[in-house]
Structure 1
């Protein structure tokens, strides 16, 4: 047996021995699965074109290969993430030792530190990359957009986490039906923006879907954590969500892709459409039904150890995975078109080459994560001045990334 295999086995055994008996392995497993789907989706379905001045610009193979849309159905697992987030929040909320305000402060700080870290680091990198290494401004715009792209999720998740006490109260009163008004709200907005009177509806109306659209699965998770979701409910979510999903696609012309496609006027995820909630309902039902089986499977140390590692690095994966891809793409752009990395994602060859690049991106993320993991821990050594500086850098990067400066 190789040294690497022996080390891996010892690490798995150590993690197994330190896992509390009451740990809900299925919930951690579902969270890890949803987390890994984020970089996998962005790396597989995001590409770069190269302009005449050497700058990279966002592109997607979905623009050419519309038949790949079902891949986005599998990789769009934010419904699962919000579901297990709601479930875990209920457990944490019950165990809180201080006030509700203190509980919220602790959870929101764990979300905010990594976001502040990645945006502050990129703010410091931008002038170095442009003035020191000559990276075109358009490449930096593209990079900044990609870095910010997954961070909207943190903002939304922060809001729904703050609503946990209210979600708990509603769940105790209405059970699984607490999520129904959220589904109805999104359906009404979708009818207004896509129905017969769409031309008379202001474009900002779609923003009304952001909160109920993502709160839907979180509320299901809270109800689940409160013991108000039965297997019968789970089957209804699975079958009803799948039926609604198919109906919206086939009869109402919703876009098939669950992610935005450059050049397409309509998108499902930003803000979420009713199709996103249908998929989240089906995924939630399946997750609830598979919980016990998944929990038994993860009693194997070799399977449980990577789940623990992924969960411990959750925010690092979320915040830095686009940086890992850019770490390869920006230098690669100086070589011209590189198959699967820089160049129009419009051929089967590009798809095969991109699959070959995936382990490279993962390796870069691991290397970056060794440094970035520190942002997830409390900043005990950072004084007020450093925190203010980090905040200013982060704000400056946000202005640049959003095209405001």
Structure 2
């Protein structure tokens, strides 16, 4: 392990911003761990399986959503990386093709796998609601990838204006949509405008950061304090859910699509990310830590897209065994989190296998071409 870590460290360019890579790895880790901890299924009447959430039964676990809901950091670092790479690119079209190719490459295998699994479940007589309950979480990351890909394609436009001129109006759009949505004055579809506007806020801040904005600790601290205060005020005074992830059965979700509360929370996370980047960069000088982060970044999109598949396939294999603790048993008691934690190595092993297969396929394609 030490020799591998040393080779990775020696192969890393001297100018590489390891703090940014560490932030991306932490964002991916937060998304994966959060989904693995708060997504569960229960048996219902007639043999059907329904998706559930431990947060619906154990509200004391709600603070976990504040730790593991790191999508804003993912979009923030994505905006930064896209702006940096575009500045050194030879042309917009070639840059877009290459970047979208990297983003969307793992999508086709995921779609084919789950089309086959869904067809197999249906052919074996599995109830439609069970099929739906298993498939939707597995392909759920595609929603966020679509928003991320659209923002990536729009990066050249974002580079032409100041980040505040983009992030500010996007924030205002989320505010107006929420006001209409919760005030009963807008159509139901209007809320989906926030899927783009909500994630545009951290993405635009990342683009601005790449251009030299947000360089001072004062700006970072202002984002952290202002975002946290806004999120707290919305939860305490305006009825927004305290959970920063969706809770099955809840009337309102902060994440599907993003609400003003989760956007404020994301702004706070951006401020925190800016404050910890330099300490993280210093930590990344340790070869073993850097090796882990470098490997995670190498397969970031594969990990993001396939992590729910690792969980769902495990649950699918356990269906025949009834109420399996930590997988299919109702998450109604304090022991459930311990059962779920015991399953995490299984999910991680399956995800690691997918990553290795993806890496092997990439090497094979390189040799053929």
Matched, 1:146 2:134: no
SS of the residue corresponding to residue 207 of structure 1 reads: helix
Structure 1: give runs of 5+ residues left out of the alignment.
1-7, 384-405
Partner of 2:181: 193
CA distance in 2, matches of 1:217, 1:117: 29
Partner of 1:82: 75
Q: Which moved more, 1:153-162 or 1:224-233?
A: 224-233
CA distance in 2, matches of 1:188, 1:42: 29
CA distance in 1, matches of 2:364, 2:260: 38
Partner of 2:296: 310
Of residues 33, 41, 49, the one that matches 2:26 is 33
Check the 8 A contact 2:138/2:312 in 1, yes or no. no
Q: What displacement does 1:223 show?
A: 0.4
The 1:236–1:46 alpha-carbon spacing in structure 2 relative to 1, beyond 3 Å, is same
Q: What displacement does 1:138 show?
A: 3.5
Check the 8 A contact 1:110/1:376 in 2, yes or no. no
CA distance in 2, matches of 1:256, 1:25: 33
CA distance in 1, matches of 2:223, 2:88: 29
Partner of 2:195: 210
Task: Kindly report which structure 2 residues correspond to 1:171-320, keeping only aligned pairs within 5 A, or say none.
Answer: 171=162, 175-176=163-164, 178-194=166-182, 198-231=183-216, 232-320=218-306
Q: TM-score, normalized by length of structure 2?
A: 0.94
Q: TM-score, normalized by length of structure 1?
A: 0.86
After superposition, the CA RMSD in angstroms is 2.0
Q: What displacement does 1:230 show?
A: 2.6
Structure 2: give runs of 5+ residues left out of the alignment.
none
Partner of 2:2: 9
Partner of 2:316: 330
CA distance in 2, matches of 1:375, 1:169: 38
Partner of 2:86: 93
Q: What displacement does 1:241 show?
A: 0.6
SS of the residue corresponding to residue 217 of structure 1 reads: helix
CA distance in 2, matches of 1:161, 1:200: 32
CA distance in 2, matches of 1:284, 1:39: 19
Check the 8 A contact 2:5/2:287 in 1, yes or no. yes
Task: Kindly report which structure 2 residues correspond to 1:32-111, keeping only aligned pairs within 5 A, or say none.
Answer: 32-97=25-90, 99-111=91-103
SS of the residue corresponding to residue 108 of structure 1 reads: helix
Q: What displacement does 1:375 show?
A: 6.5
Check the 8 A contact 1:27/1:84 in 2, yes or no. yes
Q: What displacement does 1:107 show?
A: 0.5
Check the 8 A contact 1:114/1:316 in 2, yes or no. yes
**Aligned pair count?**
368
Check the 8 A contact 1:316/1:373 in 2, yes or no. no
Q: What displacement does 1:271 show?
A: 1.2
Matched, 1:170 2:161: yes
The 1:43–1:207 alpha-carbon spacing in structure 2 relative to 1, beyond 3 Å, is same
SS of the residue corresponding to residue 169 of structure 1 reads: coil
CA distance in 2, matches of 1:381, 1:19: 23
Q: What displacement does 1:201 show?
A: 2.3
Q: What displacement does 1:200 show?
A: 3.2
Check the 8 A contact 1:114/1:375 in 2, yes or no. no
